[in-house]
Structure 1
């Protein structure tokens, strides 16, 4: 079930207590008593996060975490460990194995619930989009994540206390990433950084009150840092502050006196997650662009053109202005492929497409809707505008001489255009994108039949 928290603990009493607490906080809960049951439940229920004991009856906790992240689609499934062992090295081992956090038993209920809310709020991009496996593979989301992140930028914000400065020096030496130190309270805070930081490390003083929390909230929402991951160092005894900080949008917290190795590891994990999400967002943008773009010419494709026409129709109905739809088709293009080959034909088609695009007015659009067929949309245009532009496009194609490798004489072509002009104010007029393209295409057929290299306006166009 989507949104479920899976509790993994060998003791039934522990599972029952945790289920009561989480259910009261409106979490959906599933339970597993062994590592084997946990793996089966993850594959079956696809939980939002795993809350597991650091002491399991049938498997080492670190091994289970690595096993969970090795499952298909679970490489970034959040895992929160409740451990009775407070040894710094144990915490570091669990974090290095892939745990998102390690909380000591017994833990504060408010902090635990805030941590689970934080995990849900900061779900990885692909989990947040709820992509199917096939879609994820098509967009590149299913690719395995590799190691830790490439070199990034960590910015540490502190008040200048000697203890904080000493820790920053140790962290800067321990990480391979750029590490910048900034003083809080400066009016030009962060302006000296050329790029937004991947991770913000902020030091909250003991007894931090409203001013510090307001500043922290501003950092989590400011344009320069709202995409940054935030790690807050807080007083280890202040459970109320821990819950408040997590609910403000901070991604992770650690104690001021935590082992520097643990803090370094948390910074590395946050930076890796940030860069992984950035990569996924870039892949998504690339996939969305590919979905509406013709790969050969770089023009929009038919899918985009029809949706754009629907928006143009709605806009025209609101404004009452006419608009033009033109379908253009290259004349005798098959002869180019037959004579010079399909690779040369692709070059010719691309060159003509770019010439047509450059000849249009600002605000007009050009899409490739077939092999050598193009769709032109002209907002706020009447018959005279459409006719003038169509003739201009015909002349543009005639004047475009295309040089091909190994061919002595440049290739020239002509184009035929059919157009229709829609008037939303005309009584009884109904406009559908496909029907309008069909009407312009019918006019194109007339242009082809009339001798090619000419323009025909549909008789159904606005007067």
Structure 2
């Protein structure tokens, strides 16, 4: 049943109507007539979304939602609670139970389908991030940060500041978050000068027809704000505008006048969901970074370097431009470890890495290949320039002694040997690396502290 929508309603006619509505948008569905069956189907089959009636013959929809959220196998399935009741207390209870959305009967088909599209987009993004984050955690790269409940930042954007101020006055008693009033222009242009809000509350009408929708689209298109939550505020129920806003990237639709406590709860849920996805993104980013980074020096590691060298060689094949590869080795490194200990050796490697990195351009590749061996790749570079860079690296390392920690010796003088080879069209990454390694061995054999160019470099 994975990929299907689970409809839970005790009345067969309601289930049939929902099935027809979903089928019109090419959604497959399955059905349950009571809470116990719904829980079993959700756990065993993992639907992509659940449409859950509030009133069921055995368990209330709210209790079903609580149980879904308490089960690790079902807690991430989006849940939309549907009811004919207008009881505000029950709506709050549904949101507190973990419902993603609360829709009132009779259902508006346009709004229903737009809500489903929006929730499924969010679910797919979170599912992909969770999968990647779990992979990195299993590899030992990450520990999850459980802190999601702290105060956030909310930006209110209305046609007039006085309107936004009235929203803030209504919501502030129910929110721990910092609430700021923004102009439409400021929301798009001030992101470098202030922290980006976790959530934007945007009026549908900002002085011109469709201006609120355009701002939603602009916020979604900008790097700084694209991951923020967005709630669009409509002056009255407008299914077409609401559906368009959801399809443009809004997370929620709010209708005036606000029911302050319910609105505040909805905003908090969006902030928490946004922070969960932020956390997952950080875990994926940090895991990827650790997977390709040498932990001692902070340089790229061998895995990354070989892959990147392959890409540079392929680019050179297409562009016809030359590139340079240098194999570097720290001279007599074993004697440093033997005389001063491995902590001193690590300090030397860290300092050496920093000096090499600082002597290169941002587009150049530098990596630690293992032990005291390093790799430097210079894209779009000819031999004379490459030789100048290699000589500069030797000077950067050897001109100044490296301080040692708690070794009984203030500093140690070190040098490097460099093997330089040139690549270009028709040269494979493995071939150019092998030539650079051979040149390095020749530099070591010829007395160290020098640059040797591969005989086939030209």
Are positions 1:455 and 2:451 aligned together? Answer: yes
Match of 1:131, SS state, is: helix
Match of 1:94, SS state, is: helix
The answer for the alignment partner of 1:7 in structure 2 is 7
The answer for the alignment partner of 1:245 in structure 2 is 245
Q: Within 2, Cα distance between the matches of 1:453 and 1:384?
A: 19
> Structure 2 vs 1, CA of residues 42 and 442 (structure 1 numbering), >3 Å: closer, same or farther?
farther
> Structure 2 vs 1, CA of residues 195 and 348 (structure 1 numbering), >3 Å: closer, same or farther?
closer
**Normalised by the size of structure 1, how large is the TM-score?**
0.85
- Whether the 8 Å contact between 2:302 and 2:369 is mirrored in structure 1 is yes
The answer for the alignment partner of 1:427 in structure 2 is none
Are positions 1:263 and 2:260 aligned together? Answer: no
Deviation of 1:214 after TM superposition, in Å, equals 4.2
* Farther off after superposition, 170-179 or 353-362: 353-362
Match of 1:369, SS state, is: strand
Q: Within 1, Cα distance between the matches of 2:406 and 2:247?
A: 67
Q: Within 2, Cα distance between the matches of 1:434 and 1:180?
A: 56
Matches within 5 A, 1:375-394: 375-394=375-394
Q: Within 2, Cα distance between the matches of 1:372 and 1:283?
A: 30
Deviation of 1:348 after TM superposition, in Å, equals 1.1
The answer for the alignment partner of 1:406 in structure 2 is 406
> Structure 2 vs 1, CA of residues 74 and 403 (structure 1 numbering), >3 Å: closer, same or farther?
farther
Match of 2:370, SS state, is: coil
> Structure 2 vs 1, CA of residues 116 and 419 (structure 1 numbering), >3 Å: closer, same or farther?
same
Are positions 1:436 and 2:436 aligned together? Answer: no
Q: Within 1, Cα distance between the matches of 2:260 and 2:22?
A: 32
The answer for the alignment partner of 1:121 in structure 2 is 121
Are positions 1:217 and 2:214 aligned together? Answer: yes
- Whether the 8 Å contact between 2:300 and 2:366 is mirrored in structure 1 is yes
- Whether the 8 Å contact between 2:142 and 2:286 is mirrored in structure 1 is no
**Normalised by the size of structure 2, how large is the TM-score?**
0.86
Deviation of 1:156 after TM superposition, in Å, equals 4.3
Are positions 1:283 and 2:280 aligned together? Answer: no
Are positions 1:422 and 2:410 aligned together? Answer: no
Deviations 1:333-386 (A, max 9, x none): 223223322222211111111122223356433111111110011233344434
Deviation of 1:91 after TM superposition, in Å, equals 0.4
Match of 1:80, SS state, is: strand
Match of 2:381, SS state, is: coil
Deviation of 1:415 after TM superposition, in Å, equals 2.1
Match of 1:324, SS state, is: strand
Match of 2:402, SS state, is: coil
Deviation of 1:225 after TM superposition, in Å, equals 5.0
Deviation of 1:236 after TM superposition, in Å, equals 5.5
> Structure 2 vs 1, CA of residues 303 and 39 (structure 1 numbering), >3 Å: closer, same or farther?
farther
Deviation of 1:112 after TM superposition, in Å, equals 0.9
Match of 1:452, SS state, is: coil
Unaligned stretches of 5+ residues in structure 2: none
> Structure 2 vs 1, CA of residues 141 and 275 (structure 1 numbering), >3 Å: closer, same or farther?
farther
Unaligned stretches of 5+ residues in structure 1: 425-429
* Farther off after superposition, 97-106 or 121-130: 121-130
Deviation of 1:147 after TM superposition, in Å, equals 5.7
- Whether the 8 Å contact between 2:216 and 2:250 is mirrored in structure 1 is no
> Structure 2 vs 1, CA of residues 211 and 74 (structure 1 numbering), >3 Å: closer, same or farther?
farther
- Whether the 8 Å contact between 1:158 and 1:182 is mirrored in structure 2 is no
Match of 1:64, SS state, is: helix
Deviation of 1:144 after TM superposition, in Å, equals 7.5
Report the number of matched residues: 451
The answer for the alignment partner of 2:153 in structure 1 is 152
Deviations 1:251-298 (A, max 9, x none): 112332453211111111122222332333233322222222211101
Q: Within 2, Cα distance between the matches of 1:275 and 1:36?
A: 32
* Farther off after superposition, 174-183 or 89-98: 174-183
> Structure 2 vs 1, CA of residues 335 and 67 (structure 1 numbering), >3 Å: closer, same or farther?
farther
The answer for the alignment partner of 2:332 in structure 1 is 332
CA RMSD of aligned residues (A): 3.2
> Structure 2 vs 1, CA of residues 182 and 344 (structure 1 numbering), >3 Å: closer, same or farther?
closer
Matches within 5 A, 1:49-64: 49-64=49-64
The answer for the alignment partner of 2:231 in structure 1 is 231
Match of 1:196, SS state, is: coil
- Whether the 8 Å contact between 1:133 and 1:142 is mirrored in structure 2 is no
* Farther off after superposition, 311-320 or 363-372: 311-320
Deviation of 1:102 after TM superposition, in Å, equals 0.9
Q: Within 1, Cα distance between the matches of 2:89 and 2:141?
A: 36
Q: Within 2, Cα distance between the matches of 1:325 and 1:197?
A: 45
> Structure 2 vs 1, CA of residues 145 and 91 (structure 1 numbering), >3 Å: closer, same or farther?
farther
Matches within 5 A, 1:199-218: 199-204=199-204, 211-218=208-215
Are positions 1:445 and 2:441 aligned together? Answer: yes
* Farther off after superposition, 411-420 or 4-13: 4-13
Q: Within 1, Cα distance between the matches of 2:359 and 2:29?
A: 61
- Whether the 8 Å contact between 1:125 and 1:280 is mirrored in structure 2 is no
